[in-house]
């Protein structure tokens, strides 16, 4: 197993948050696996903030 990484994605607009999350996942290198994605929502008055913490690991290529 190689390095472990985290990437935090946030947004206050649900559609923008979804776009950012999709973009973050699509930018991950091919030699990684996503271990988990943790979601959270926080409210401040009438504004909701959406957050996702992407936990991923670098892996070595499969060898036959």
Q: Each residue of 45-61: pLDDT tens digit?
A: 999 999 999 999 988 87
- Which token pair is 44? 């401040």
pLDDT computed for residue 27 by the predictor: 95
Q: How confident is the model at residue 2, as a pLDDT? A: 61
Q: What is the pLDDT of residue 63?
A: 78
Question: Which parts of the chain have pLDDT scores under 70?
Answer: 1-2
Which residues are bridge partners to 55 per DSSP?
6, 36
Q: So what's the pLDDT on residue 12?
A: 95
Task: Kindly give the residue spans of alpha helices, DSSP state H, lying in 1-64.
Answer: 14-26
């Amino acid at each position: 197993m190689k390095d472990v990484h985290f990437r935090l994605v946030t947004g206050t607009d649900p559609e923008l948050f979804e776009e950012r999350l999709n973009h973050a996942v699509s930018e991950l290198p091919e030699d990684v696996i996503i271990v988990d994605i943790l979601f959270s929502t926080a409210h401040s008055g009438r504004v909701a903030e959406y957050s996702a913490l992407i936990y991923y690991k670098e892996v070595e290529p499969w060898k036959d």
